Amino acid sequence: MRKLRRISIWLCVLMLVLLVGTASAAKKEVIMWTFPIFEDDMAQFYGPILEEFEKQNPDITVKIEFFPWGARAERMMTAITSGNPPDVAYLNEDIYPAYADLGAMVPLQDHISEESYNDLHPGLRDAMSWQGNLYVYPILQNVHIPAYNVDLLNEAGLPSDYASLPRTWDEFFDYMEKLTKPEKRQYGSSGYLTNIGSEQWSPWFLQAGGEWVSEDGRTFLVNSDAGLKAMNTLIKLFDNYISPGGKGKDAFESRADFWEGRTASDYTWQNHWAWTEKVDYPDFNLGYGPVLKETASSPQLTCGTIAGYGVFKTQRDGAAAAKWVEFLTNAENSLKFAKLSGFLSPRISASRQLAAEMGDPLYDISVEQSAFVSPNGFHFIHPQARASHGLLTAEIQAAVLKEKSPEVALEDAVKNTNQLFADYFAAK
């Protein structure tokens, strides 16, 4: 009997070991790469969401890894080509097409609910779709919108209410003329050309009716009447209405000029700065104006950033990764992200709720003007968008710094970018 009892005990132990092993083997791991957005991303945003997700999905565990912003696109491409990408990554609209075009990403519409799919603003859904497939579910968007120092406008005797602020290029430059007072070291607008110069050029290009790329994606089209108008307008702005040191500053220093009263406006202001930075300038009298048009009958267009989470093809479970993305970006969590960051929500339901909760006219203007964000803004949707962005920026800088004529700068931008496109398609 004792021998039989010992055998029974050992069998029970063995069965328990096997059951634990089976449960462990069945647990699916999702590895996510992301980048710091908040002061403490895990405590403020990801941690509570992750805890609730794993409670609802005990068969899935999510490991979140944070990386610095620099060289993030290159880091992910290296991981893809070496066969070891993460399951999920935070991606912008100019980054993901290169990976999707390689076949390295999972189409999300196959894994998320129809309700989630339809809750996205259609333009943002289009911006995150490549060749008919949604590859990134957005968590944020912003709008580049003219911002004004209302106190400086009032001092200059200029109308400062939203309805009276400039709507056309001529009206904007009339304000620039009246707000630029070099004797007081005050200038009309902030501006910068280091690192992200094409953001300063792209709104003018879009408003002039510019087209980025041919339909087949092989020809860069910025050497056009619209491109030349944009270049000459940007040069006019930098020559006359931006502080002499502005050209050497980066975006952060340029914003400091605005917040500290040295410039009266910022025509490519990103709306979330009002919430992330105004805490340091609580008495600043900030106003937003409408997105500009070239003329009263021209298109009203601007740029904006879109970002979210995409799923890569790995040896792990793509359905589990997509399930995590859908949960992370659901209406409740999108609303939480927007409240923490000041970005606009890409979800229709969260946008409506947040606009109602904010009670802030600046936020209402941001939501209204976000309708004019072009899906093909300063980061047009193309596998080589990010690489071409650097080539164009270099030529814009050369033109503004008088190292090249506007015509030659645009010719060189097209020549260099067309070669980039040719090399890409030849290697496919």
pLDDT for 420 beyond 70: yes
Q: Which two tokens stand for residue 425?
A: 């398609």
Tell me the C-alpha distance between 425 and 63, whole Å.
Answer: 36
pLDDT value at position 24?
A: 46
Contact residues for 284 (Cβ-Cβ < 8 A; gap 6+): 149, 259, 278
3-class secondary structure, 403: coil
The answer to whether residues 241 and 338 touch, using CB atoms and an 8 Å cutoff, is no
Helices and strands per DSSP (H, E), number in the chain: 19, 10
Report how far residue 403's alpha carbon sits from residue 409's, in angstroms, rounded to the nearest whole number.
9
Question: Residue 144, SS3?
Answer: strand
Question: What is the token pair recorded at 73?
Answer: 């696109």
Q: Note whether 29-142+305-329+339-370 and 144-303+384-427 share their fold.
A: yes
Encoded tokens for 75 = 């880091």
> What pLDDT does residue 12 have?
44
Q: Report strand pairing: 133-134 vs 129-130.
A: antiparallel
Is pLDDT above 80 for 20? no
Topology at the third CATH level for domain 144-303+384-427: D-Maltodextrin-Binding Protein; domain 2 (3.40.190)
User: Can you list the positions of beta strands (E) in 45-149?
Assistant: 60-66, 88-92, 129-130, 133-134, 136-141, 144-149
- Report the distance separating Cα 78 and Cα 73, nearest Å: 9
Break the chain into its structural domains and give their ranges.
Answer: 29-142+305-329+339-370, 144-303+384-427
Q: Alpha helix (H) ranges present in 119-265?
A: 122-127, 150-155, 169-179, 198-207, 225-240, 251-259
Q: What is the pLDDT of residues 237-272, one digit of tens each?
A: 999 999 887 777 777 788 889 999 999 999 989 888
Task: List the single range of 13-22, 178-187, 275-284 with lowest mean pLDDT.
Answer: 13-22
Q: Are 27 and 62 in contact (CB under 8 A)?
A: no
pLDDT exceeds cutoff 50 at 4: no
Spell out the residues 6+ positions from residue 403 whose beta carbon is closer than 8 angstroms to its own: 397
Three-class secondary structure of residue 232 per DSSP: helix
* 293-319 pLDDT, tens digit each: 999 999 999 998 899 999 999 989 999
Give the three-state DSSP class for 120: strand
Least confident of 4-13, 187-196, 350-359, 372-381: 4-13
177 φψ region: left (φ > 0), alpha (ψ -120 to 50), beta (else)? alpha
Classify domain 29-142+305-329+339-370 at the CATH superfamily level. Periplasmic binding protein-like II (3.40.190.10)
Pairing of strands 136-141, 306-311: antiparallel
Whether 405 and 232 have beta carbons less than 8 Å apart is answered as no
Reported confidence tier of residue 78, pLDDT bands at 50, 70, 90: very high
Residue 295 near residue 168 (C-beta atoms within 8 A): yes
Are the CB atoms for 166 and 175 separated by under 8 Å?
A: yes
Q: For the chain, give the number of residues.
A: 428
**Are 53 and 327 spatial neighbours (Cβ–Cβ below 8 Å)?**
yes
